[in-house]
Structure 1
Amino acid sequence: MARSIWSGVLTFGLVTVPVGLFTATEDHTVHFHQLERGTGDRIRYKRINERTGEEVDSRDIVKGYDLGDGEYVVIEPEELDEIAPGKSKVVDMAGFVDLGQIEPVYFDRTYYVAPRGKEYLKVYELLRAALEQANKAGIATFTMRGKQYLTALRAQENVLVMHTMRWADEVRDPRDEVENLPDRRQKVTSGELRTARQLIDALTVDWNPEDYQDTFEERVKELVEAKREGKEIVGEAGPPEATNVIDLMSALKQSVERNRAKGGTGKSATKKGRGEQSQESESEQEDVSALTKSELYRRATDAKIPGRSKMTREQLVEALGKRRAAA
């Protein structure tokens, strides 16, 4: 089992429960070493004293606050801990907010929160169940590794999760960053809005994260394997052209009709249970040419079609068609 990265107490009102934090996510990104072109020699970074040019051991490095003109105030790690001895071990719920009120841009990292002993399970479950039933998040601050965090505590099935959040002054105003944003002069007709809503409703599905794969990571691995074998990989097709405003309603209507033609992917469509295998034969399924590329890729993954991550949408349709014909 993993070890907690932080331990302390979680409080709401006069109720206190000892807890630990556990990392909830992991990075599967393909990582590369840096090499010198031509020689293939590894490139490494060292901590160098800029005055002497000599390498410095990490144990001899302290934090320095820049006052300007080359003057620094030196801060030792333990001095940061001393200025918040109690706060560093307490997550105190300052209040509770509706989950829908928190914009996703404020969320940063996610941790699992677990009780530090079986004797605390009842208090822990009480808070988890209450948050789940109320559909609210507890807002608190706490200190970890010399930094104070704003956090949101919410309930998942069987576990509490804590999201570290960005402070208000760390979130940029889109009006200061983005040049082209719609204003009241950008009018959409009631018909366009109604048709767009129909399309959204038709494409509404239940959230299942296992339905989505990191196809780029797979393509990187295939690129590495292809280069090792001296082969080439065909690049992905470019994005489609932007929708002309004049053709907007036509594009919306065609999208709705296309979804209806393939039976719909929304909640109104008949769904199979999670993990249940389809009993239909390939010949009884709908025409795959009407599927989106993500749906085609999922079919290709289920069919174990090689090279699927580098295929265009048309190539996926062709490959699935051949697989079905051969079945």
Structure 2
Amino acid sequence: METKPPMRTVWRGTVTFGMVVLPVRLVSATEAHRGRFREIHHRDGGRIRHKRVCELEGTQEEISYGDIGRAVELPDGRLVPITDEDLERLPLPTKHTAEVLGFVPGTDIDPITYGHSYYAAPDGPAADRPYVLLTEALARTGYVGICKIALRQRERLAVLRPRRGVIVLQTLLWADEVREPGDLGPSVPVTDRELQLAELLLSELTGLEMQQLDDEYGHALEQLVAAKAAGGDVPEFPALQWPAVDLLDALEQSIQAARRSRQ
């Protein structure tokens, strides 16, 4: 039986709300399952490799990861080296403490601002009671906690929310990282009848079981790779054709189809 490797801790510190101190450790809450594409040369199918070379040395000798550091590039092109010790000396309490700045209804958070998700696990027996307390209080009230935390050399806003008895810490984009849509949306009028039918169609299409949805693209890609690896024919699928339908007719037909699918 295949066993999964243990979840790696990516941050260890404390969550504080009021005078309550909750030691936690963060582990990634998501993982990618599908394979990634590799770069190849069109002409002969050879694998493209990206080598780590130093532009000042002028050679093609590859640099080992142990000899690679990080730097910040200034507007004039100069590079300012930044070491791990420099980052440790940054005066950021969020490196080890995520202080809850306040609580807001979960519906107040715009989903466009959500980033990476982490499970916050209690770190030690002393954390169990405050952990359960915070988890159940969030679940009962519908509130989420807003905090700041330093993760992967960046300080982020984050929300704390409950999920199946576990606290999830989900990073948020800063306000200036979200683009405004501008005039992307059209401004054409719709009739009251169209709106009524659209709302009715939405109500008929409720009750979606998210757990039953699958990655059809991933499965199709696996079949494509298997067919090409075996030297077989790659199946071709006809392109979808969308007939021109009047908007009201399309809404009414969609409602009828939705009702038939429930029978």
Give the TM-score of the pair, scaled to structure 2: 0.90
Could you tell me which amino acid in structure 2 is paired with residue 187 of structure 1?
P
Match of 2:212 in 1: 211
Instruction: Answer whether contact 2:144 2:161 (CA < 8 A) is retained.
Output: yes
Could you tell me which amino acid in structure 1 is paired with residue 49 of structure 2?
R
Match of 2:52 in 1: 47
Distance 2:91 2:150 in 1: 8
1:25-82 deviation digits (Å, cap 9, x = unpaired): 1001222333333444332111111122233232233322223444232221220121
Match of 1:199 in 2: 201
Distance change in 2, residues 1:251/1:221 (3 Å):
same
Match of 1:222 in 2: 223
Distance 2:130 2:41 in 1: 57
Instruction: Answer whether contact 1:142 1:150 (CA < 8 A) is retained.
Output: yes
1:236-278 deviation digits (Å, cap 9, x = unpaired): 443443755xx111111111112223335xxxxxxxxxxxxxx
Instruction: Detail structure 1 runs of 4+ shifted over 4 Å in the superposition.
Output: none
Distance 2:173 2:75 in 1: 27
Distance 1:118 1:37 in 2: 57
Consecutive unaligned residues in structure 2, runs of 5 or more = 1-5
Could you tell me which amino acid in structure 2 is paired with residue 230 of structure 1?
G
**Does residue 144 of structure 2 align to residue 137 of structure 1?**
yes
Residue 94 of structure 1: SS of its match in structure 2? strand
Match of 2:3 in 1: none
1:114-152 deviation digits (Å, cap 9, x = unpaired): 101233211101000000111111111011232111101
Instruction: Answer whether contact 1:81 1:146 (CA < 8 A) is retained.
Output: no
Instruction: Answer whether contact 2:94 2:155 (CA < 8 A) is retained.
Output: no
Instruction: Answer whether contact 1:65 1:74 (CA < 8 A) is retained.
Output: yes
Q: State the Cα distance separating 1:154 from its structure 2 match.
A: 0.4
Instruction: Answer whether contact 1:5 1:21 (CA < 8 A) is retained.
Output: yes
Distance change in 2, residues 1:114/1:56 (3 Å):
same
Q: Which of 16, 32, 38 is matched with 2:21 structurally?
A: 16
Residue 174 of structure 1: SS of its match in structure 2? coil
Consecutive unaligned residues in structure 1, runs of 5 or more = 265-327
Residue 124 of structure 1: SS of its match in structure 2? helix
Distance change in 2, residues 1:46/1:193 (3 Å):
same
Residue 92 of structure 1: SS of its match in structure 2? strand
Could you tell me which amino acid in structure 2 is paired with residue 213 of structure 1?
D
Distance 1:88 1:47 in 2: 30
Structure 1 vs Structure 2: percent identity of aligned residues?
34
Aligned-residue Cα RMSD (Å) equals 1.9
Could you tell me which amino acid in structure 2 is paired with residue 16 of structure 1?
V
Distance change in 2, residues 1:256/1:225 (3 Å):
same
Distance 1:199 1:92 in 2: 44
Match of 2:186 in 1: 182
Instruction: Give the structure with the higher percent helix.
Output: 1
Q: State the Cα distance separating 1:228 from its structure 2 match.
A: 2.1
Match of 1:29 in 2: 34
Taking the TM superposition and a 5 Å limit, the aligned residue runs for 1:1-327 are 1-54=6-59, 55-84=62-91, 86-175=93-182, 179-183=183-187, 186-206=188-208, 208-241=209-242, 247-263=246-262
Residue 201 of structure 2: SS of its match in structure 1? helix
Distance 2:63 2:52 in 1: 6
By relative contact order (CA 8 Å, sep 6+), the higher-ranking structure is 2
Q: State the Cα distance separating 1:157 from its structure 2 match.
A: 1.6
Give the TM-score of the pair, scaled to structure 1: 0.73
Distance 2:47 2:256 in 1: 55
Alignment length (residue pairs)? 256
1:272-318 deviation digits (Å, cap 9, x = unpaired): xxxxxxxxxxxxxxxxxxxxxxxxxxxxxxxxxxxxxxxxxxxxxxx
> Highest Rg: 1 or 2?
1
Instruction: Answer whether contact 1:63 1:77 (CA < 8 A) is retained.
Output: no
Instruction: Give the structure with the higher percent strand.
Output: 2
Distance change in 2, residues 1:165/1:236 (3 Å):
farther
